[in-house]
Amino acid sequence: MEVNEFINQNLIKMNLKSEDKESVIKEMIEIMAENEIITDKDEVIKKAMEREAKGTTGVGKGVAIPHVKSDAVKKPAVAFGRSKKGIDYGSMDEKPSYLFFLITVPEESHDEHLKLLAKLSRNLIHDDFRNSLLEAKDEEEVMSVLENI
């Protein structure tokens, strides 16, 4: 199981256009839809918003990780987006978020997929990891940061 089975350069957006929480979630889900990761965009948006209602996934430190587990997801995938300006995501630390990971998994997922996602999540805690994502110049560089987890 490798990182590049979840994410590739097409799933990376270096400059998100959205300026608020709901539109950034939609913008990220749109990336998934374009890459045919999901079958039902509206369903995925609904699930993501439901999850946010239970508690924000803006975990602070400039990171947000909206995620969806649904039958409308074909395979486990991660989309990465970055906002230069920062977006008010209602984060725990009340600061704007710059790095966005949208994680989608089907209802029935293999443990190995979930374990890799867990590993990615663990890395987000580390300052170095976040900084190299913030400073990455292009999609290729983001991929190489992610591949080294």
Question: Does the footprint of another protein cover residue 1 (CB under 8 A)?
Answer: no
- Taking each helix axis from N to C end, the angle separating 41-54 and 21-34, rounded to the nearest 10 degrees, works out to 140
- Given the residues 67, 110, 113, 126, select the one marked as catalytic: 67
| Residue of the chain from 10, 20, 122, 149 that contacts another protein (CB under 8 A) | 122
Question: Does the footprint of another protein cover residue 8 (CB under 8 A)?
Answer: no
The verdict on whether 67 is a catalytic residue reads yes
| Residue of the chain from 20, 22, 34, 93 that contacts another protein (CB under 8 A) | 93
- Within 13 Å, how many C-alpha atoms sit on residue 131's CB side? 3
Stretch that binds another protein, among 4-12, 16-24, 37-45, 102-110 (CB under 8 A): 102-110
Euclidean distance between CA atoms 20 and 90, whole angstroms: 10
Q: Restricting to residues 62-81, which ones interact with another protein according to CB under 8 A? A: 65, 67, 69
| Residue of the chain from 54, 84, 85, 137 that contacts another protein (CB under 8 A) | 54
Nearer CB in complex with another protein: 65/145: 65
The answer to whether 57 and 87 are in contact (CB under 8 A) is no
Number of residues that bind another protein (CB under 8 A): 30
Distances in Å between the Cα of 97 and the Cα atoms of 43, 106, 115 are: 24, 26, 25
C-alpha 83 chain-centroid distance: 12
